């Protein structure tokens, strides 16, 4: 029923030193920054009639990882929905909430489930699978949320690792300083993935329901090379090249490795939403990112990418690689994290009422 | 929102030598035996009008463990529901299925999620928590199934491990050959747990929805001591006493250990269902169990109880204990597994329509 999961970027599970659950403070700040926008969205844009018949509100957090950020995000949404329901006074019985925590099947759901907030006021469930395919029944969700997950592509575009393709991305692991062919391959993959994402969500979200997501992106009109995410990717790439120069890994291994991530602009988002046709764009806002501390950011990257790098290059390089990354990041912070260019996008879409 | 999970009897996770996923063939036979009864239940007892409005059928399997048995059980149910929907011809669009796999939060959901059948025709989700409390929104489920899970109590009755109580169960780990006080404590715990179970399900299951469960039990009118489950428990207890005699474990450790399981008769079930008042009893049938091979049964017990015994008595005794159990089981098989007394109960309840 679901698309095959290509190279899933699964966050490091458990609760150990390099785990996502202990190293996701960077992403947490973004959830804090989005909180007011979510409150406003629910207060102003949500019509409570969409759930007055069932009296159960169904929420999903897509790309939830293993916690704890997802718990804070979900609690924000529920608090806002409760206020909305009370203020409208239309609801005879207080609604019940069912929350679906979604991530790849390889995500550490055991960690997620054993650390659920004991005092939660919702029924929790976990949904394994790629959000680029269907995950839920037709018209079953009222509010869908995704934070820092939709920048991950379903897969690396095939041609960029194909030596015979004009889009072969030799010596690089990302697109922002690559040839036009490579950039186009990434843009096409993003468009295709978002097409699948919106098609699936259009079926799953009730008419009038909301879809809110936060993605690390780039400002309107900004070139790819200015995005914080892309500058970080370039830095990662340069650390890998350094490791090649030191003889720690092979250049072929770097050539065959690319990051399946894309940092969108508001125009990118508008284009895919319009092409899909089932959602109205209610809000697209720039959310300034807070400059992370270098150590914190390197740890967050290790929690997010450690597993993938281990698979590609072997566990023995990890400590050295992330030490190097930390140092380079520290040295280049003001370039990588350029004020006004290091932004996230907060996007709010509403499922159009068609019948 | 959920009851605290006392000593959860969590099946051994993963896919290793002693895992539930590799040692649950014994329970699987029971799912096979129940298949025809489930088909008949759905064909004859289910009114498809209960889901014609939403067009999504929601199923739950309570106490699903880490697979694979739950996948077979769920597929049986979906096959039968699809036949029913087609035969009635009332459904304009083929229904979509959402399946909730439930078990304690300590269950190995990672194993469950990574081994979901790739060709499944349903949306899968996992729900962590005790089924003795609420797990789902009001009136959200159409068919609830539980196989070999409802014999597990939420907890060992407190008084049986209390040295000062008249119900102290000294030197024994179960109730069937114990004093009247111990038996009464177990019976009361069963009644209380089932009261909570049915209260929660009455809220969650739509009016007209079905609740089917299979429990290892005992025939109508049979004393506790005749149940296959109780005879097995007595055997376990005698192996522990042998380990005490050999100086491998302390008698205090055995005194403080009791099994949180109860083997019900049809009368027990009828009494709790009537007291609850929200379900009609559609079927209670004896399902003859097939005599297990000793090795298979000892392995199934290890997968089910290994973790608990390890916690109470230490890992180092496990191999010796289960070798001993296997030998005793082999020697006493015809007594323990007495034909006509070793039965499961298949119970089908329907949520009464009250409005």
pLDDT at B281: 97
User: Does the beta-carbon distance from A98 to B140 stay under 8 Å?
Assistant: yes
CA distance A169 to A162: 8
Residues of A in contact with B130 (CB under 8 A): none
Q: Tokens 């179960």, residue? A: B174
Facing residue for A109 by CB, picked from B106, B113, B136: B113
Within B212-258, residue ranges assigned H as helices are: 228-245, 251-255
Average pLDDT, integer, range A193-200: 98
Based on the number of CB atoms within 10 Å of its own CB, is A247 exposed (0-12), middle (13-18) or buried (19 or more)?
Answer: exposed
User: Does the beta-carbon distance from B116 to A105 stay under 8 Å?
Assistant: yes
CA distance A260 to B301: 45
**pLDDT tens-digit readout, B96-111:** 999 999 999 999 999 9
CA distance B127 to B130: 9
Task: Select the more confidently predicted residue: A54 or B65.
Answer: B65
Domain boundaries, chain B: 25-351
CA distance A90 to A69: 32
pLDDT at A6: 42
A209 is written with which tokens? 């329901």
- Predicted confidence band of residue A334 (pLDDT cuts 50, 70, 90): confident
CA distance A28 to A238: 27
Mutate to test the interface with A, among B8, B60, B96, B97 (most CBs of A within 10 A): B96
**pLDDT tens-digit readout, B177-194:** 999 999 999 999 999 999
Query: Which residues in chain A (140-169) have CB-CB distances under 8 A to chain B?
Result: 140
CA distance A181 to B109: 42
A111 is written with which tokens? 């960690």
How many other CB atoms are there within 10 angstroms of residue A89's CB atom?
8
Say if residues A37 and A346 touch (Cβ distance below 8 Å): yes
**pLDDT tens-digit readout, B250-302:** 999 998 899 999 999 999 999 999 999 999 999 999 987 777 788 888 888 88
CA of B282 to nearest chain A CA: how many angstroms apart? 28
Q: CATH for B25-351, among 3.40.50.720, 3.30.420.40, 3.40.50.150, 3.40.50.2000?
A: 3.40.50.150
Residue (of B32, B34, B36, B85) closest to B57 by Cα position: B85
- Cis peptide preceding A68, ω within 30 of 0: yes
What value of ipTM does the predicted structure carry? 0.90
Coil, helix or strand at residue A119: coil
Coil, helix or strand at residue A210: strand
Over 50: is that where the pLDDT of A5 sits? no
Paired residues of B351 in beta bridges: B279
CA distance B214 to B29: 12
Facing residue for B1 by CB, picked from A13, A114, A121: A121
Judged by a CB distance cut-off of 8 A, whether residue B125 touches chain A is yes
User: Does the beta-carbon distance from A1 to B121 stay under 8 Å?
Assistant: yes
Task: Select the more confidently predicted residue: B33 or B251.
Answer: B251
CA distance A304 to A229: 13
**pLDDT tens-digit readout, B37-78:** 999 999 999 988 887 666 899 999 999 998 889 999 999 999
CA distance A92 to A55: 9
CA distance B157 to B311: 19
What is the secondary structure of A274-315 as a DSSP string?
HHH-SEEEEEEEEEEPPPPPHHHHHHHHHHHHHHHHHHHH-G
Residue (of B224, B157, B119, B154) closest to B2 by Cα position: B154
Q: Tokens 């009639």, residue? A: A49
Average pLDDT, integer, range A198-211: 97
CA of A284 to nearest chain B CA: how many angstroms apart? 31
Residue of B nearest to A4 (CA): B118
CA distance B200 to B132: 7
Facing residue for B126 by CB, picked from A96, A126, A137: A126
- Predicted confidence band of residue B90 (pLDDT cuts 50, 70, 90): low
User: Does the beta-carbon distance from B135 to A128 stay under 8 Å?
Assistant: no
The region of weakest confidence among A69-73, A190-194, A229-233, A302-306 is A302-306
Say if residues A136 and A100 touch (Cβ distance below 8 Å): yes
Residue A129's alpha-carbon distances to A93, B113, B114, B135, in angstroms, are 33, 9, 10, 22
Coil, helix or strand at residue A258: coil
pLDDT at A354: 85
CA distance A245 to A242: 5
């Amino acid at each position: 029923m679901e698309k095959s999961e290509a190279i899933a970027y699964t966050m490091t599970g458990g609760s150990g030193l390099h785990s996502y659950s202990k190293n996701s403070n960077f992403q947490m700040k973004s959830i804090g920054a989005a909180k007011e926008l979510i409150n406003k969205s629910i207060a102003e844009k949500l019509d409570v009639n969409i759930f007055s018949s069932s009296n159960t509100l169904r929420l999903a957090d897509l790309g939830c990882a293993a916690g704890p950020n997802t718990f804070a995000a979900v609690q924000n949404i529920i608090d806002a929905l409760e206020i909305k329901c009370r203020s409208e006074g239309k609801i005879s019985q207080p609604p019940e909430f069912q929350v679906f925590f979604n991530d790849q099947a390889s995500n550490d759901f055991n960690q997620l489930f054993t650390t659920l907030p004991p005092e939660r006021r919702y029924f929790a469930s976990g949904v394994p699978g790629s959000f680029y395919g269907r995950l839920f029944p037709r018209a079953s969700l009222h509010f869908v949320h995704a934070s820092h997950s939709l920048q991950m592509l379903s897969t690396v575009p095939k041609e960029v690792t194909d030596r015979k393709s004009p889009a072969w991305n030799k010596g690089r692991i990302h697109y922002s300083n690559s040839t036009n062919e490579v950039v186009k391959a990434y843009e096409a993959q993003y468009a295709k993935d978002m097409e699948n994402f919106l098609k699936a969500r259009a079926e799953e979200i009730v008419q009038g329901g909301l879809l809110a997501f936060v993605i690390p992106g780039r400002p309107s009109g900004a070139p790819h090379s200015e995005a914080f995410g892309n500058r970080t990717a370039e830095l990662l790439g340069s650390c890998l090249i350094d490791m090649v120069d030191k003889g720690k890994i092979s250049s072929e291994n770097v050539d065959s490795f690319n990051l399946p991530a894309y940092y969108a602009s508001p125009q990118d988002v508008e284009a895919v939403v319009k092409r899909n046709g089932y959602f109205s764009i209610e809000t697209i806002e720039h959310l300034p990112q807070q400059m992370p501390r270098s150590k914190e950011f390197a740890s967050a990257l290790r929690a997010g990418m450690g597993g993938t790098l281990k698979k590609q290059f072997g566990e023995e390089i990890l400590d050295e690689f992330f030490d190097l990354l930390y140092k380079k990041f520290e040295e280049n912070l003001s370039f990588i994290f350029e004020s006004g260019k290091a932004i996230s996008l907060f996007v709010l879409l509403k499922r159009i009422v068609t019948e």
